[in-house]
Protein backbone atom coordinates (compact mmCIF):
# COMPACT_ATOMS: atom_id res chain seq x y z
CA UNK A 1 0.00 0.00 0.00
CA UNK A 2 1.26 3.49 -0.84
CA UNK A 3 2.21 5.99 1.85
CA UNK A 4 0.16 9.07 2.60
CA UNK A 5 1.01 11.68 -0.02
CA UNK A 6 -1.38 14.54 0.67
CA UNK A 7 -3.51 15.50 3.68
CA UNK A 8 -6.37 17.99 3.91
CA UNK A 9 -6.96 19.34 7.41
CA UNK A 10 -10.23 21.13 8.12
CA UNK A 11 -9.70 24.18 10.34
CA UNK A 12 -12.39 26.44 11.80
CA UNK A 13 -10.20 29.17 13.25
CA UNK A 14 -10.96 28.20 16.85
CA UNK A 15 -8.46 27.03 19.45
CA UNK A 16 -9.75 23.48 19.13
CA UNK A 17 -9.23 23.65 15.38
CA UNK A 18 -5.73 24.99 15.93
CA UNK A 19 -4.97 21.93 18.02
CA UNK A 20 -5.74 19.37 15.36
CA UNK A 21 -4.21 21.62 12.68
CA UNK A 22 -0.96 21.49 14.65
CA UNK A 23 -1.25 17.70 14.96
CA UNK A 24 -2.02 17.31 11.26
CA UNK A 25 0.97 19.37 10.18
CA UNK A 26 3.22 17.29 12.42
CA UNK A 27 1.79 14.10 10.93
CA UNK A 28 2.47 15.43 7.43
CA UNK A 29 6.02 16.35 8.45
CA UNK A 30 6.69 12.94 10.00
CA UNK A 31 5.25 11.17 6.98
CA UNK A 32 6.94 13.50 4.43
CA UNK A 33 3.67 14.34 2.69
CA UNK A 34 1.93 17.54 1.62
CA UNK A 35 -0.63 19.32 3.76
CA UNK A 36 -3.45 21.62 2.68
CA UNK A 37 -5.90 23.53 4.87
CA UNK A 38 -9.62 24.06 4.40
CA UNK A 39 -10.51 27.05 6.57
CA UNK A 40 -14.21 27.08 7.49
CA UNK A 41 -15.82 30.21 8.96
CA UNK A 42 -19.39 31.47 9.25
CA UNK A 43 -20.31 34.11 6.68
CA UNK A 44 -22.03 37.40 7.44
CA UNK A 45 -25.36 35.65 6.90
CA UNK A 46 -24.52 33.13 9.57
CA UNK A 47 -24.17 30.27 7.09
CA UNK A 48 -20.86 28.42 6.93
CA UNK A 49 -18.58 28.95 3.96
CA UNK A 50 -15.19 27.61 2.99
CA UNK A 51 -12.70 30.40 2.44
CA UNK A 52 -9.07 31.01 1.59
CA UNK A 53 -6.56 32.68 3.87
CA UNK A 54 -6.59 35.87 1.81
CA UNK A 55 -10.33 36.19 2.41
CA UNK A 56 -10.28 36.10 6.22
CA UNK A 57 -8.99 38.32 9.00
CA UNK A 58 -5.38 38.81 9.90
CA UNK A 59 -5.77 36.80 13.11
CA UNK A 60 -6.81 33.66 11.23
CA UNK A 61 -3.96 34.06 8.75
CA UNK A 62 -1.47 34.56 11.55
CA UNK A 63 -2.79 31.58 13.50
CA UNK A 64 -2.31 29.24 10.56
CA UNK A 65 1.13 30.63 9.73
CA UNK A 66 2.31 30.38 13.35
CA UNK A 67 1.03 26.84 13.69
CA UNK A 68 2.64 25.59 10.50
CA UNK A 69 6.00 27.28 10.98
CA UNK A 70 6.20 26.19 14.62
CA UNK A 71 5.56 22.55 13.80
CA UNK A 72 7.20 22.32 10.40
CA UNK A 73 9.86 25.05 10.26
CA UNK A 74 12.12 23.42 7.66
CA UNK A 75 9.72 23.24 4.75
CA UNK A 76 10.43 25.41 1.73
CA UNK A 77 6.95 26.94 1.86
CA UNK A 78 6.10 27.97 5.41
CA UNK A 79 2.38 28.14 4.73
CA UNK A 80 0.31 25.19 3.53
CA UNK A 81 -1.90 25.47 0.49
CA UNK A 82 -5.19 27.17 1.40
CA UNK A 83 -8.33 26.61 -0.64
CA UNK A 84 -10.22 29.65 -1.94
CA UNK A 85 -13.96 30.28 -1.56
CA UNK A 86 -16.24 27.47 -2.70
CA UNK A 87 -19.98 27.77 -3.11
CA UNK A 88 -22.51 25.21 -1.92
CA UNK A 89 -22.63 22.93 1.08
CA UNK A 90 -19.53 23.03 3.27
CA UNK A 91 -19.27 19.25 3.57
CA UNK A 92 -19.41 18.88 -0.21
CA UNK A 93 -16.92 21.72 -0.63
CA UNK A 94 -14.46 20.06 1.74
CA UNK A 95 -14.74 16.76 -0.12
CA UNK A 96 -14.29 18.54 -3.47
CA UNK A 97 -11.13 20.24 -2.20
CA UNK A 98 -9.74 16.87 -1.15
CA UNK A 99 -10.55 15.40 -4.56
CA UNK A 100 -9.08 18.34 -6.48
CA UNK A 101 -5.84 18.14 -4.51
CA UNK A 102 -5.75 14.34 -4.83
CA UNK A 103 -5.68 13.98 -1.05
CA UNK A 104 -5.80 10.53 0.48
CA UNK A 105 -6.80 11.68 3.97
CA UNK A 106 -9.11 14.33 5.44
CA UNK A 107 -8.45 15.30 9.07
CA UNK A 108 -11.37 16.89 10.89
CA UNK A 109 -12.50 17.51 14.47
CA UNK A 110 -15.08 15.07 15.83
CA UNK A 111 -18.05 17.28 16.68
CA UNK A 112 -20.45 14.33 16.47
CA UNK A 113 -22.26 15.23 19.69
CA UNK A 114 -24.43 17.51 17.55
CA UNK A 115 -24.89 15.06 14.72
CA UNK A 116 -28.60 15.91 14.69
CA UNK A 117 -27.56 19.49 13.80
CA UNK A 118 -29.47 21.31 16.53
CA UNK A 119 -29.59 25.05 15.73
CA UNK A 120 -27.77 26.14 18.87
CA UNK A 121 -24.78 23.89 18.14
CA UNK A 122 -21.72 24.82 16.13
CA UNK A 123 -22.09 24.36 12.38
CA UNK A 124 -18.77 22.49 12.39
CA UNK A 125 -20.38 19.68 14.33
CA UNK A 126 -22.91 18.82 11.65
CA UNK A 127 -20.31 19.36 8.91
CA UNK A 128 -18.12 16.69 10.49
CA UNK A 129 -20.90 14.11 10.41
CA UNK A 130 -21.70 14.83 6.77
CA UNK A 131 -18.08 14.64 5.65
CA UNK A 132 -17.76 11.22 7.30
CA UNK A 133 -20.96 10.00 5.69
CA UNK A 134 -20.33 11.28 2.15
CA UNK A 135 -16.58 11.24 1.60
CA UNK A 136 -15.06 8.59 -0.69
CA UNK A 137 -11.71 9.60 0.84
CA UNK A 138 -10.48 8.31 4.20
CA UNK A 139 -11.32 10.52 7.18
CA UNK A 140 -9.35 10.85 10.41
CA UNK A 141 -11.71 12.09 13.12
CA UNK A 142 -9.97 13.84 16.02
CA UNK A 143 -11.70 14.34 19.40
CA UNK A 144 -11.18 17.64 21.18
CA UNK A 145 -7.80 17.73 22.92
CA UNK A 146 -6.61 14.42 21.43
CA UNK A 147 -3.20 14.01 19.85
CA UNK A 148 -2.47 12.33 16.54
CA UNK A 149 0.14 9.75 17.48
CA UNK A 150 1.14 6.36 16.12
CA UNK A 151 2.82 4.58 19.04
CA UNK A 152 -0.04 2.12 19.55
CA UNK A 153 -2.54 1.37 16.78
CA UNK A 154 -5.77 -0.59 17.21
CA UNK A 155 -7.21 -2.27 14.13
CA UNK A 156 -10.79 -3.56 14.31
CA UNK A 157 -11.59 -6.24 11.70
CA UNK A 158 -14.56 -8.44 10.79
CA UNK A 159 -13.41 -10.31 7.68
CA UNK A 160 -15.25 -8.05 5.21
CA UNK A 161 -13.68 -6.45 2.12
CA UNK A 162 -13.73 -3.04 3.80
CA UNK A 163 -12.02 -4.59 6.79
CA UNK A 164 -9.36 -5.99 4.46
CA UNK A 165 -8.71 -2.55 2.96
CA UNK A 166 -8.45 -1.03 6.44
CA UNK A 167 -6.01 -3.79 7.38
CA UNK A 168 -3.71 -2.93 4.48
CA UNK A 169 -3.62 0.74 5.45
CA UNK A 170 -3.12 0.06 9.15
CA UNK A 171 -0.26 -2.34 8.45
CA UNK A 172 1.47 0.01 6.01
CA UNK A 173 1.22 3.05 8.28
CA UNK A 174 2.21 1.04 11.37
CA UNK A 175 5.34 -0.07 9.55
CA UNK A 176 6.06 3.47 8.33
CA UNK A 177 5.71 5.02 11.80
CA UNK A 178 7.16 2.11 13.79
CA UNK A 179 3.89 1.48 15.65
CA UNK A 180 2.80 -1.52 17.65
CA UNK A 181 -0.45 -2.98 16.34
CA UNK A 182 -3.31 -4.55 18.27
CA UNK A 183 -5.71 -6.53 16.07
CA UNK A 184 -9.25 -7.05 17.34
CA UNK A 185 -12.24 -9.00 16.11
CA UNK A 186 -15.48 -8.86 18.11
CA UNK A 187 -18.03 -11.68 18.16
CA UNK A 188 -21.55 -10.44 18.77
CA UNK A 189 -24.25 -13.11 19.13
CA UNK A 190 -27.63 -12.11 20.59
CA UNK A 191 -28.48 -13.98 23.76
CA UNK A 192 -31.70 -15.34 22.24
CA UNK A 193 -29.64 -17.10 19.55
CA UNK A 194 -27.84 -19.32 22.07
CA UNK A 195 -30.82 -21.63 22.58
CA UNK A 196 -31.48 -22.07 18.88
CA UNK A 197 -27.83 -22.53 17.88
CA UNK A 198 -25.72 -23.42 20.94
CA UNK A 199 -22.60 -23.99 18.87
CA UNK A 200 -22.91 -20.74 16.90
CA UNK A 201 -20.81 -18.72 19.36
CA UNK A 202 -18.01 -21.28 19.27
CA UNK A 203 -18.06 -21.28 15.48
CA UNK A 204 -17.91 -17.48 15.29
CA UNK A 205 -15.12 -17.27 17.85
CA UNK A 206 -13.07 -19.76 15.82
CA UNK A 207 -13.75 -17.71 12.70
CA UNK A 208 -12.67 -14.50 14.45
CA UNK A 209 -9.48 -16.17 15.69
CA UNK A 210 -8.72 -17.10 12.09
CA UNK A 211 -9.19 -13.47 10.95
CA UNK A 212 -6.88 -12.01 13.59
CA UNK A 213 -4.37 -14.85 13.22
CA UNK A 214 -3.96 -14.28 9.50
CA UNK A 215 -3.61 -10.53 10.04
CA UNK A 216 -0.98 -11.06 12.73
CA UNK A 217 0.99 -13.25 10.34
CA UNK A 218 0.89 -10.44 7.77
CA UNK A 219 2.10 -8.00 10.41
CA UNK A 220 4.93 -10.33 11.43
CA UNK A 221 6.02 -10.66 7.80
CA UNK A 222 6.20 -6.85 7.60
CA UNK A 223 8.14 -6.64 10.89
CA UNK A 224 5.27 -4.86 12.62
CA UNK A 225 4.90 -5.72 16.30
CA UNK A 226 1.40 -7.13 16.64
CA UNK A 227 -0.90 -8.80 19.13
CA UNK A 228 -4.24 -10.45 18.34
CA UNK A 229 -7.45 -10.23 20.39
CA UNK A 230 -10.91 -11.78 20.13
CA UNK A 231 -13.67 -10.38 22.33
CA UNK A 232 -17.36 -11.22 22.78
CA UNK A 233 -20.10 -8.64 23.18
CA UNK A 234 -21.18 -5.31 21.72
CA UNK A 235 -18.62 -4.43 19.00
CA UNK A 236 -18.33 -0.69 19.66
CA UNK A 237 -18.02 -1.21 23.43
CA UNK A 238 -15.32 -3.85 23.07
CA UNK A 239 -13.38 -1.72 20.57
CA UNK A 240 -13.45 1.38 22.76
CA UNK A 241 -12.63 -0.63 25.91
CA UNK A 242 -9.61 -2.31 24.30
CA UNK A 243 -8.42 1.04 22.95
CA UNK A 244 -8.50 2.41 26.49
CA UNK A 245 -6.91 -0.70 28.04
CA UNK A 246 -4.01 -0.70 25.55
CA UNK A 247 -3.49 3.10 25.49
CA UNK A 248 -4.17 3.10 21.77
CA UNK A 249 -3.37 6.38 19.99
CA UNK A 250 -5.54 5.67 16.96
CA UNK A 251 -8.26 3.22 15.88
CA UNK A 252 -8.53 1.93 12.31
CA UNK A 253 -11.94 0.85 11.02
CA UNK A 254 -13.42 0.08 7.63
CA UNK A 255 -16.57 1.77 6.36
CA UNK A 256 -18.78 0.71 3.49
CA UNK A 257 -18.00 3.51 1.05
CA UNK A 258 -20.25 6.56 0.82
CA UNK A 259 -22.94 5.45 3.22
CA UNK A 260 -24.56 8.88 3.45
CA UNK A 261 -25.66 10.73 6.55
CA UNK A 262 -28.83 8.68 6.82
CA UNK A 263 -26.79 5.50 7.19
CA UNK A 264 -24.44 7.20 9.65
CA UNK A 265 -27.36 8.23 11.83
CA UNK A 266 -28.69 4.70 11.98
CA UNK A 267 -26.14 3.65 14.58
CA UNK A 268 -23.35 1.89 12.74
CA UNK A 269 -20.49 0.42 14.79
CA UNK A 270 -18.10 2.93 13.25
CA UNK A 271 -20.28 5.89 14.20
CA UNK A 272 -20.62 4.65 17.78
CA UNK A 273 -16.87 4.19 18.12
CA UNK A 274 -16.29 7.70 16.78
CA UNK A 275 -18.70 9.11 19.35
CA UNK A 276 -17.15 7.31 22.32
CA UNK A 277 -13.42 6.93 21.60
CA UNK A 278 -11.02 9.28 23.34
CA UNK A 279 -8.41 8.84 20.58
CA UNK A 280 -8.65 9.65 16.85
CA UNK A 281 -10.50 7.20 14.60
CA UNK A 282 -9.19 6.54 11.09
CA UNK A 283 -12.23 5.69 8.93
CA UNK A 284 -11.18 3.88 5.77
CA UNK A 285 -13.63 4.75 2.99
CA UNK A 286 -11.94 3.45 -0.16
CA UNK A 287 -13.68 0.09 -0.39
Residue with more model confidence, 156 or 189: 156
- Please report whether residue 1 resides in a domain: no
**pLDDT surpasses 90 at 13:** no
Print the domain residue range for 160.
152-279
- Please report whether residue 284 resides in a domain: no
- As a whole-number percent, the residues of the chain with pLDDT over 70 amount to 63
- Please report whether residue 55 resides in a domain: yes
Domain end position, chosen among 142, 168, 192: 142
- Please report whether residue 286 resides in a domain: no
Residues 157, 274 within the same domain: yes
Residues 57, 90 within the same domain: yes
Tens of pLDDT, residues 153-172 = 999 998 888 889 999 999 99
| Residue-level pLDDT at 229 | 97
One DSSP character per residue, the chain reads -PPP-EEEEEE-SSHHHHHHHHHHHHHHHHHT-EEEEEEEEE-TTS-EEEE-GGGS-HHHHHHHHHHHHHH-TTSSSSSPEE---B-S-HHHHHHHHHHHTT-SEEEEE--GGGTT--TTS-HHHHHHHHHHHH-SS-EEEE-TT-----SEEEEE--SSHHHHHHHHHHHHHHHHHT-EEEEEEEE---HHHHHH-TTHHHHHHHHHHHHHHHHHHHHHHTT--EEEEEEES-HHHHHHHHHHHTT-SEEEEE--S--HHHHHHTT-HHHHHHHH-SS-EEEE---
Residues 179, 112 within the same domain: no
Domain end position, chosen among 111, 142, 173: 142
- In CATH, what number is assigned to the domain containing residue 46? 3.40.50.620
Residues 117, 180 within the same domain: no
- Please report whether residue 285 resides in a domain: no
Q: For 24-39, what is the mean pLDDT?
A: 73
* Domain tally, the chain: 2
**pLDDT surpasses 70 at 77:** no
Band (275; pLDDT cuts 50, 70, 90): confident
Residues 134, 12 within the same domain: yes
Residues 82, 34 within the same domain: yes
Band (127; pLDDT cuts 50, 70, 90): confident
Amino acid sequence: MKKLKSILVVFNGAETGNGHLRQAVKLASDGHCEVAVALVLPSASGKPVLVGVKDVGESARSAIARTVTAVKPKVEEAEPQIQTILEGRVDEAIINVAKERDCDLIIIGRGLKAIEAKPEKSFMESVTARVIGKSPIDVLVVPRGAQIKWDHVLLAIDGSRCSEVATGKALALSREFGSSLNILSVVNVPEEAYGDAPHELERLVDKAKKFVGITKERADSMHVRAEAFVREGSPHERIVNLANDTDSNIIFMGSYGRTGLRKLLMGSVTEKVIRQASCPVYVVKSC
